[in-house]
Amino acid sequence: MEFSLLGAAAIGVFGFWIMIRWEAKRGNAAGCAVDIWDTGLVAAIAGLFIGRIVSMIQTGVNPLTEPLQIMLVRSGVSTVAVVIGTLLVFSFLARNALVAAADGIAPAALMGLAGWYAGCLATGSCLGAESSLPWAVALPGSQITRHPVEIYAAIGMALASIALALWKQYGRPAPGSVAGLALLSASIIRLGTEPLRISLAGGPMLLYSAGVVAGAAMFVASIVSKRRTTKESTG
């Protein structure tokens, strides 16, 4: 039995928890009635199983005739379905205070993703395309040095998470802008690191591109909305 994937998930959840705890002391999601820890965790788990079921259907395995296979997450999950499923479930659970909850969870979600990527150290799957850079690493017994691409992604997500948390604390961002920037930065990091990964079919570049556009649109819309509100209240 192999538990390394569970270890990676635990590191991700730990990252999520650490950032929520850190932000809680600084008034994270003030006025938001939604418990972002519970909501985030439920949405992520639901999204994971939606992604697994979609992956089974894509590979021709019937989830009804082979229900136990849903538990074999290691066999593959559809990234697109995980992302869409998680966002939909989160939107449903936090529907009464969606913008505040999205801003509240954004830095913690990025830190959770950073932990998930850093979890490659547990699963032994950090390495990507061949590289001759000084920090490139070889697989045990191999001469070929490779980009530690998942560590790049983990560092990028962690830095984005900390920057957003600090901005929330000191910068008085417009409602929705933190969530928009989080989506934008996560998508850019995935897009930037994808060419360095090795995969059989290639990553879902369209999804990441859509994430860049959606994140940028959310950010701009939140800024415009805040300006309009400020103008109306002063005028």
**197 sits near other proteins (criterion: CB under 8 A):** yes
Nearer to other proteins, 59 or 96 (CB): 59
Q: Helix/strand/coil (H, E, C) string of the chain?
A: CCCHHHHHHHHHHHHHHHHHHHHHCCCCCCCCCCCHHHHHHHHHHHHHHHHHHHHHHHCCCCCCCCHHHHHCHHHCCCHHHHHHHHHHHHHHHCHHHHHHHHHHHHHHHHHHHHHHHHCHHHHCCCCCCECCCCCCEECCCCCCEECCHHHHHHHHHHHHHHHHHHHHHHCCCCCCHHHHHHHHHHHHHHHHHHHHCCCCCCCCHHHHHHHHHHHHHHHHHHHHHHHHHHHHHHC
**61 sits near other proteins (criterion: CB under 8 A):** yes
Closest-CA residue to 81 (of 58, 50, 60):
50
Work out which of 30, 33, 133, 144 binds other proteins, going by CB under 8 A: 144
Stretch that binds other proteins, among 85-93, 169-177, 191-199, 225-233 (CB under 8 A): 191-199
**91 sits near other proteins (criterion: CB under 8 A):** no
User: Least Å distance between CB 80 and other proteins?
Assistant: 14
**223 sits near other proteins (criterion: CB under 8 A):** no
**75 sits near other proteins (criterion: CB under 8 A):** yes
Contact set for other proteins, span 20-59 (CB under 8 A)? 53, 57, 59
**199 sits near other proteins (criterion: CB under 8 A):** yes
Two tokens, residue 157: 């997500």
**92 sits near other proteins (criterion: CB under 8 A):** no
**142 sits near other proteins (criterion: CB under 8 A):** yes
Work out which of 60, 134, 231, 233 binds other proteins, going by CB under 8 A: 60
User: Least Å distance between CB 187 and other proteins?
Assistant: 20
Nearer to other proteins, 134 or 202 (CB): 202
**131 sits near other proteins (criterion: CB under 8 A):** no
Nearer to other proteins, 64 or 206 (CB): 64
Burial letters for 77-100: b for 16+ Cβ neighbours within 10 Å, e otherwise?
Answer: bbbbbbbbbbeebbeebbeebbbb
Please, are residues 9 and 116 in contact by the beta-carbon 8 Å criterion?
A: yes
User: Least Å distance between CB 95 and other proteins?
Assistant: 17
Binding residues for other proteins (CB under 8 A): 1-2, 5, 53, 57, 59-66, 68-69, 72, 74-76, 124-125, 127-128, 139, 141-142, 144, 197-201
